[in-house]
Structures are given as structure tokens and as C-alpha cells.
Amino acid sequence: MSLDRNEYAFQSWKPHLIYNNDMDAKDSSFFASRTFLYDTLTSLHQQLQQYNSEYSSSYNDDILFVHTQLVELLDYLFITYEKSKVVKILSVNLDTILAKTITFNLNIMMKNGHEKFTILIIELVNKLSELVLSN
């Protein structure tokens, strides 16, 4: 089993994402961005379920890659929407699948003793703390 890094690379997601609550974008554009991101994260979560059930240390690089892409998505959202009170691209369902995918990936790392788990969770908590404190 191998993760398709082209499909799950954040850089391949960016063209599908509306930038900074673009006022010229139609509601359908936000819906299309939201749908793309939801479908991609759902697919990624399903891929992680396979990794969880058949884990091998050879998957460490893929699991780390997934974490890096999810953090890049968070960074993009934090930077792009830094001055916005509302992030139109997000929805409750999208927030939920994003949170589930991040925690599931971290759970796989923790359960299998990934060498970078501790530092990655500290970095993620710091990043999320900055978000909460800035608002």
C-alpha cells in the first residue's frame, strides 16, 4: 500500500481553494472549494484507516507526509483568513473531518511509537494556541 503523494500534496489542493473570502467569487465557488476539500480529506481519512489496520514501520514516511500536508492546510487557512471574522470556505462538516483526520493521523503515530510524534503534537498545540490567543 502506498499513499498517492501527488493527490494528497497540499500544493495540488491550493488551486481548488478560494483565496481570502474573495468578494468576486460566487457562492457556488465557495461551495466547490468546500466540497473539494471535504472529499479530499474524507479520502485521506479512509486511506489512513487502511494504514491503521495494517500498520508497518515502512509507513512512517507516509504518515509524516500526511501530517505535514494537514499542517500546511492549517497554515494556509490561518494566513489567508488572518483578518477575517468568517472563513467562508469552512463549514461544520469540513471542520469535523479536518479535526478527525488530524487526530486520527496523530493517533496512528502515537500507537506505533513514531519517533517524531511528541514534537509534532507540541508544534500543533502551539499553532492552535496561537490561533485561539490571537482571536
Predicted TM-score of the model (pTM): 0.87
Nearest CA among 6, 25, 9 for reference residue 72: 9
For the chain, give me the number of helices (H) and strands (E)? 6, 0
Statement: residue 131 has pLDDT above 90: no
Greater confidence, 83 or 43?
A: 43
Range with the lowest mean pLDDT among 9-23, 38-52, 53-67?
9-23
Q: Write down the domain spans for the chain.
A: 5-134
Statement: residue 9 has pLDDT above 80: yes
* Residue 108 burial class via C-beta count within 10 angstroms: exposed 0-12, middle 13-18, buried 19 and up: buried
Average confidence (pLDDT) over 85-100? 86
Q: Which long-range contacts (CB under 8 A, 24 or more apart) does 12-18 make?
A: 13/37, 13/40, 13/73, 14/76, 17/76, 17/89, 18/88, 18/89
| Residue type for position 134 | S
Alpha-carbon distance 53 to 107, whole Å?
12
pLDDT confidence of 22, banded at 50, 70, 90?
low
